[in-house]
Amino acid sequence: GYVPRAKFHTLTEQMFYILLCLRNECYGMDILDRVPAMTNGRVNVGSGTLYNLLEQFLEEEMIRETKVEGRRRSYILTVKGQEMLEKEYQRIQMQAQDYLKFMGEEEA
């Protein structure tokens, strides 16, 4: 039968860095500054995208809310979120290895 594609089976770069930020508890707004800082300005997350993804991560129990102070909310990665991040890291590693393997053959 038809198996629906698992949500977050693979992560976009933005998702990856948002989750990476949340290894340590932090406020949503802080992520907007942290991601560009982590990536030397290569990756940016807009606030609309951020809040949309945070909502989805909460629904999927990849993160949980730790504090709510008025409109400021802070989050942290759950075990499930850590597993997703780890899986994505493994996938990126394999992708890089495949690249080296096949691009390296040109010279042989």
Query: What is the four-CA torsion angle of 43, 46, 51, 52, rounded to 10 degrees?
Result: -80
- Which residues in the chain come in under a pLDDT of 70? 1-6, 106-108
pLDDT of residue 9: 80
User: Any idea what the Cα angle at residue 66 is, between residues 92 and 30, rounded to 5°?
Assistant: 60
pLDDT of residue 10: 87
